[in-house]
């Protein structure tokens, strides 16, 4: 590292160890590297190994002399994290392993020292789900900025929990999930109980997971600022309420598109992959897409954590096949809890299948393609894609919005419930299938999105994509907020 680089700020970026979090925070890391800032990106040993195995992260970042990928000892086997409970267990395990590690890393010398080849840390950007870093930063006297990888809308509902409890709206009195929720400011009139994050569906407020989540959310105003992967035209009505709690908001999304735009400015004609995948990407699906008509294919993926039952998989499969629409479906290995997912990917293992299942496989060969993990950003940008059946994870939602791809939402857990409500009811760029999974409904929604109301949905999704692009162009809200974030880091 040369002397000029040594004089530049050095930021420790510390994501929660899961695909959706590592992905968006690595995009932020690269945007800051482009501004000449030194970055140490800290992940678990396990995530570190998977990044090295499945991505070009080392060669991609080798052009930034100030970038370092560091790792801490594994606290938990993250590959086991599939359901809300395991996410909470991971959080608890991180407290005991990572907190001492972080303290040691940050306090090696009086200037918050680090390795000799890097300047001292000037700031920490931490996943807002890891408030343990706030304690360490305050103890050491380092500025800390939180980054929440979820939507402003979803995060705002967490902030409103005390108000919901005070008003008697939480825990839900009775079982009816379609009743309105009145005490989330900015969402009156459209939020229902079933649209609150799944973690809030508790019968008992002493539930430890509920309390961990609430505690993590309410710590955020202790940070110097809050970065959100969203843009003002998308969530402006919620952001104005948010600013009353966290006035220093940096809305800089959609991050993947923002990074792509900056890289294109710097490296005209660069076609390098920016993948941060923790699984091997099966790029053969892009060749398959190349042979499909424009806007004809439904992309189906439920993200990196959700698992589904064999029954659910069959309902989706029948519904999609019966719709007659072409489809590209990601079924992660081990994401179907009796192993059918693995068989689906390899029809040679299908000897014991029933006749209807064999018929499904035949139809799949005719107009479908199934892979274990896809290059999702490239898939959504492909001209053959006309719709996305998604679990409404926030990265997937933003990636779809940025490409103008309408969605059918089947939220599984956490922030996904409010995200799907916004897609269906506020932005009107898709359909919300919340809490139901029935082949007849799946078939109807797929036909609505991809055939009957195709033009209407494509038009609105295209309008939203234009707003997303405007936000990251020079002078746009996300562009200006990133400039402000960089300035604030440089000024210290
Ligand atoms: C989780 C939560 O569900 C999400 O709501 C939260 O915001 C972050 O943590 P995940 O369930 O994995 O994340 O969903 P999502 O946020 O959509 O992230 C998945 C990422 O994996 C996306 O960036 C997507 O592009 C990528 N992906 C997914 C692939 O690259 N290939 C695939 O085949 C599937």
Which tens digit of pLDDT belongs to each residue from 386-427? 999 999 999 999 999 999 999 999 999 999 999 999 999 999
Tell me the pLDDT band of 347, cut-offs 50, 70 and 90.
very low
Separation CA 490–CA 468 (nearest Å):
27
CA dist 404 and 421 (Å) reads 18
> What residue segments make up the domains of the chain, in order of their start?
8-150+208-270+470-489, 281-335+353-467
pLDDT of residue 339: 47
Average pLDDT over residues 332-349: 60
Nearest CA to ligand 1 atom 34: 303
Q: What is the mean pLDDT of the chain?
A: 90
Pocket of ligand 1 (CB under 6 A): 18-21, 23, 149-150, 277, 301, 303-306, 330, 373-374, 376-377, 393-396, 399, 414-416
Which helix or strand (DSSP H or E) is residue 88 part of?
Answer: helix 84-106
- pLDDT at res. 112: 53
Pocket test for ligand 1, best of 20, 55, 400 (most atoms within 8 A of CB): 20
| Model ipTM over 0.85 | yes
Answer CATH for 8-150+208-270+470-489 from 2.40.10.10, 2.60.120.380, 3.40.50.2000, 3.40.50.300: 3.40.50.2000
Structure tokens at 315: 């309902």
- Average pLDDT (180-199) is 96
Active site residues: 21, 127
Burial class (CB in 10 A: 0-12, 13-18, 19+), 176: exposed
Same fold, 8-150+208-270+470-489 and 281-335+353-467: yes
Q: What residues contact residue 273 under an 8 Å CB cut-off, 6+ apart?
A: 55, 56, 60, 375
What pLDDT is attached to residue 337?
78
Q: Are 2 and 65 in contact (CB under 8 A)?
A: yes
Instruction: Give the list of residues 6+ apart from residue 358 with CB closer than 8 angstroms, or none.
Output: 350
Token digits for 333? Answer: 């290995």
- The reply to whether the predicted model has a pTM over 0.90 is yes
Reduced to 3 states, what is the DSSP secondary structure of residue 202?
coil
Helices (H), 111-254: 132-140, 152-159, 161-166, 208-219, 232-242
> What CATH number has the domain spanning 281-335+353-467?
3.40.50.2000
Residues 450/387, Cβ–Cβ less than 8 Å:
yes
Residue ID of nearest Cα to ligand 1 atom 8: 20
User: What is the rounded distance in angstroms from the CA atom of residue 479 to the CA atom of residue 475?
Assistant: 6
Token pair for 434 = 């919340």
pLDDT for 65:
92
Mutation test residue for ligand 1: of 22, 229, 304, the one with most atoms within 8 Å of CB: 304
Q: Give the Å distance between the CA of 280 and the centre of ligand 1.
A: 15
> Which residue is closest in CA terms to ligand 1's atom 9?
20
pLDDT confidence band for 268 (50 / 70 / 90): low
Residue 175 to residue 128: CA distance in whole angstroms? 31
């Amino acid at each position: 590292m040369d002397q000029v680089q040594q004089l530049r700020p050095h930021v420790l970026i510390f994501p929660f160890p899961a695909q959706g979090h590592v992905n968006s925070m690595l995009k932020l890391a690269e945007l800051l590297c482009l501004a000449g800032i030194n970055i140490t990106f800290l992940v678990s040993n396990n995530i570190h190994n998977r990044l090295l195995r499945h991505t070009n992260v080392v060669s991609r970042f080798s052009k930034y002399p100030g970038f370092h990928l560091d790792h801490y000892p594994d606290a938990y086997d993250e590959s086991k994290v599939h359901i809300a409970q395991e996410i909470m267990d991971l959080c608890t395990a991180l407290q005991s392993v990572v907190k001492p590690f972080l303290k040691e890393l940050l306090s090696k010398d009086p200037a918050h020292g680090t390795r000799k080849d890097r300047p001292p840390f000037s700031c920490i950007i931490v996943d807002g789900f890891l408030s343990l870093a706030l304690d360490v930063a305050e103890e050491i006297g380092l500025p800390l900025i939180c980054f929440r990888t979820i939507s402003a809308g979803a995060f705002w509902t967490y902030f409103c929990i005390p108000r919901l409890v005070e008003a008697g709206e939480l825990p839900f009195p009775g079982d009816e999930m379609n009743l309105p929720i009145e005490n989330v400011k900015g969402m009156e009139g459209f939020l229902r109980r079933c649209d609150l994050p799944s973690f809030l569906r508790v019968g008992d407020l002493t539930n430890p997971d509920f309390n961990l989540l609430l505690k993590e959310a309410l710590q955020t105003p202790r940070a110097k600022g809050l970065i959100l992967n969203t843009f003002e035209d998308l969530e402006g009505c919620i952001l104005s309420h948010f600013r009353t709690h966290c006035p220093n908001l940096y809305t800089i999304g959609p991050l993947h598109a923002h990074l792509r735009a900056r890289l294109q400015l710097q490296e005209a004609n660069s076609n390098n992959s920016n993948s941060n995948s923790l699984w091997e990407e099966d790029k053969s699906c892009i060749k398959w897409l190349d042979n499909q008509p424009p806007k004809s294919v439904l992309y189906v993926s439920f993200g990196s954590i959700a698992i589904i039952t064999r029954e659910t998989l069959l309902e989706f499969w029948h519904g999609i096949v019966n719709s007659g629409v072409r489809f590209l479906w990601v079924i992660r290995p081990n994401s179907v809890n009796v192993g059918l997912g693995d068989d689906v990917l390899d029809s040679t293992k299908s000897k014991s299948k029933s006749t209807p299942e064999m018929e499904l496989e035949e139809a799949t060969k005719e107009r479908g393609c199934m892979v274990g993990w896809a290059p999702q950003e490239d898939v959504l940008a492909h001209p053959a894609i006309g719709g996305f059946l998604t679990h409404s994870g926030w990265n997937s939602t933003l990636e779809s919005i940025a490409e103008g791809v309408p969605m059918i939402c089947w939220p599984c857990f956490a922030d996904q419930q409010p995200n799907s409500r916004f897609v269906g009811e506020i932005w009107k760029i898709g359909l919300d299938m919340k809490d139901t999974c029935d082949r007849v409904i799946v078939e109807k929604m797929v036909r609505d999105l991809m055939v009957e109301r195709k033009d209407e949905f494509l038009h609105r999704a295209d309008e939203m994509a234009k707003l997303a692009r405007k936000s990251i162009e020079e002078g746009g809200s996300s562009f200006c907020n990133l400039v402000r974030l960089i300035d604030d880091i440089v000024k210290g």
